[in-house]
Structure formats: C-alpha cells, structure tokens
Chains A and B, each alone.
Chain A
C-alpha cells in the first residue's frame, strides 16, 4: 500500500521531471553556435537619395535590359516619378514610360499623349523619386500567393518562381506599392528582385551601376561596416507607406510629404 508520504514525494518528483524540457539537458557545442552565427548571411536593403536624382532614367533602361523586361511594353520593375509642386498648392506627378527615356518634356504627362504645361515661375519645388520593390520584411504579396510561387529568401529578397506561378494576380493586387506586374512574355507575376543574379555574385544591381549620380545604393543591413547600413542607422531616412505595416526595406533620403 502506498503511503501518503511516498505518494507526495513521487508526485513532486514526476511534476518536477516533467517541468524540465529536453533542451535543458542538451550540452552547448560552441562550434555549432559559431557556425549558426556565421550562417546568417546578408540582408539586402536599398538606399535611395532623392536629392541626388535628376530623372535621367538610365536606371530604368539598365533594369529593363538586364532583366529582360520587354523594352517597349509599358511595364517596368523600377521607375522614376517626377513631382512638381506649383504655387497654387497642386502637386503634378508623372512618369512617362516609367521614365525609361528620362523626362524629355518639360510638360507633365497627363496621359493620352497630352502634356500639361507649367510656367517656370509657378514651380515652388520639383524633384524625382525612384521607385522599386521594397523587399518588405512582412511582404503581403508573399502571404497572398495561393501556390507558393512567390517567396522570400534568407537574405530578404522576394522572388517569383516562374515555373510555379499560375498567374492569378493576387500578389499584383496585394502589393501596396504597385511594383508587381504581369510579364508580357512569360505570363507570370514579375517584380524587382534587386538583380538577384548580380548581388549574389558581389556585384551591384543594374540600376545602381547605371546611376551616374549616386542616387541609388544597395547594401547589406547585417554588416555594420557597410556604408549603406551606416547611413540607414545614423541619418534621417524614411520609408514609403509605413502605415501598411509591411516593414519596407528600401530607405529614402530627402523624402517629401507629396510622395505617395
């Protein structure tokens, strides 16, 4: 017969034993821990200095050629927007052909081949804003994909599997930045991937290489010595549409409130 004393003792022993997780009994292997730390690899981020951009559009041309986006189709992975704020408080925004040929006209492209002319004296401020995929830390386009065709790699880049995409278009609707589009040739979702084939070889993206003004830079946020990381950590950078909670990883210097 079990006594009250031994019952209490054994109950406490079993309860105590259950409370110890198996991982507590595992011994630390310093080598393994070090290897895991080193495996972290890069986290690619982008830095756009809108104060340096002059709207030449070489980045758009370079991107389209490098990434085989049909040159004359009106779709592009990256584009440049022009903002002209006039003294009557209006903001005029355009991006003819995504600024593939720069901004050849002084007038604002209002569609259907029409230009809205603005007098020089009416301009309060004007600037150019390059746009590209934000490679969000919380990418809505990945969450909505029903087949696992779009995904985020360990280094933070969101890619599209062309052989797996069914072309449903959820991701194109889901992206709050409008960076996704249908590829006119492959008929699948297409987007900027920070020139994944270039950055993984230690090169810069095509748009960074073609920018003569240093307005675009790509960097590794996990490297504290990276000049881009240093700027992001120490200067006043901003992101687009922070309120959506997407945690965008393209950082902007000199962003103005007119930029959407």
Chain B
C-alpha cells in the first residue's frame, strides 16, 4: 500500500497509544466495576473508605454517660429523656480534650423549636406544651425558670 494510507493510520495509532498511556497514569488503579455492576457501581473503590473515615462528631448520650452519670440519670427520669445531650450541648467532637468545654445553646430559640405553640390538630405538635415566644416573658432565657434537664424542676438561680 502507498504511504498516504499508512501515514494517517500511524497518526491514529499514536493517538490511541497516547490516550492509553495517559489513562494509565490519570485513572486511579482501584477504578472499576463495583458490587452494583457497571450501571450503578462504576467508581473508585478507595472512595468508600474515605467516606467511612469521616470524623464522628455527635457521640450520643452513651458517650456522655461515662463522665457525667449524674446528669445522665437525671435526664432518664425526666420528661425530656428522649432528647440527646448533644442537641443542646453541641457535638462532643474530641471533648474533653478538644474542646475542653462545650458551647451550650441556652437560647430561647432552642426551646422554641418544640415549645412554640402551633395549633395543629391531629399532629403531635398540637398536643405539646407550647407558648407564644412573642408574649411569654420576652427577654428572659427559658432556663431562668425552667430546668432543662427536668422541666418539672425550677430553673437556674442567678
């Protein structure tokens, strides 16, 4: 065959070779078909571990219990027993090393999440004890009168 046929063919072959070489270096070795097949599982396998390695920030009441059993036991008897410590005290992160003390949310807005009165029939919200934050002791923190760990008790004394 003549060279005008061979030359473009060589060019094409060189391009294909370049693409293959580039792919070898650019595509991670663990890229492939995962457990869910080509349509759903075409991915870099190492990424699954990367997601698993993410830091756990909320460590749940089971973690708080070890050092604060008194608070834990008080909560367990309280109408607020189902609320996790970290909902108000913030995520444990590496507490007690870092941060040494947690940022506690004592704001009215926090309590108002559940205790703003919403008159919804047939909803759990409708039967919850609620107030109108616009008229109920405006300017005062809820914890002044209500002890959050057990709302049946009196609040913080200044």
Contacts and interface: CB of A to CB of B under 8 A. Distances in A.
Interface of A: 51-58, 61-62, 65-67, 84, 101-104, 106, 120, 123-128, 139, 142-143, 148-154, 159, 161-164, 193, 196-198, 200-201, 203-204, 206, 209-210, 212-214
B53 A197 contact: yes
Interface of B: 31, 34-36, 39-44, 47-48, 51-58, 60, 80, 82-84, 86-87, 91, 109, 112-114, 116, 118-126, 128, 133
Pick the most buried of A149, A151, A196: most chain B CB atoms within 10 A of its CB.
A151
A165 to B, nearest CB: 10
Nearest to B115: A56
Contact of A103 (B43, B55, B116): B116
Contact of A101 (B34, B58, B113, B123): B113
A53 B124 contact: yes
Nearest to A58: B87
Nearest to B57: A66
B36 A153 contact: yes
Nearest to A51: B124
A159 B122 CA distance: 37
Given A153-B48, A159-B48, A212-B83, A101 B36 contact: no
B119 A123 contact: yes
B44 A123 contact: no
A52 B124 contact: yes
B113 A143 contact: no
Contacts of B113: 56-58, 101-102, 104
A17 B119 CA distance: 78
A175 to B, nearest CB: 14
A209 B84 contact: yes
Contact of A126 (B43, B47, B86, B118): B118
B16 to A, nearest CB: 21
A164 B112 contact: no
A51 B44 CA distance: 40
A213 B41 contact: no
Contacts of A210: 58, 84, 86-87
Nearest to A99: B113
Pick the most buried of A61, A84, A153, A206: most chain B CB atoms within 10 A of its CB.
A153
A195 B83 CA distance: 20
B112 A197 contact: no
Contacts of A123: 119-121
Contacts of A152: 34, 36, 40-41
A65 B58 contact: yes
Contacts of B126: 126
A147 B84 CA distance: 40
B123 to A, nearest CB: 5
Contacts of B86: 62, 209-210
Given A84-B120, A152-B41, A161-B44, 12 more contacts: A101-B113, A102-B113, A151-B43, A197-B54, A197-B56, A206-B57, A206-B58, A209-B86, A210-B58, A212-B83, A212-B87, A213-B124
Nearest to A138: B40
A127 B123 contact: yes
Contacts of B42: 148, 151
Contact of A164 (B44, B83, B123): B44
Contact of A153 (B35, B44, B114, B118): B35
B125 A193 contact: no
The 6 closest A-B pairs by CB, nearest first: A154-B35, A151-B43, A102-B113, A126-B120, A197-B54, A56-B113
B57 A214 contact: no
A56 B114 contact: yes
11 contacts: A102-B113, A102-B116, A126-B126, A148-B44, A151-B40, A152-B34, A154-B34, A159-B48, A197-B52, A206-B58, A213-B82
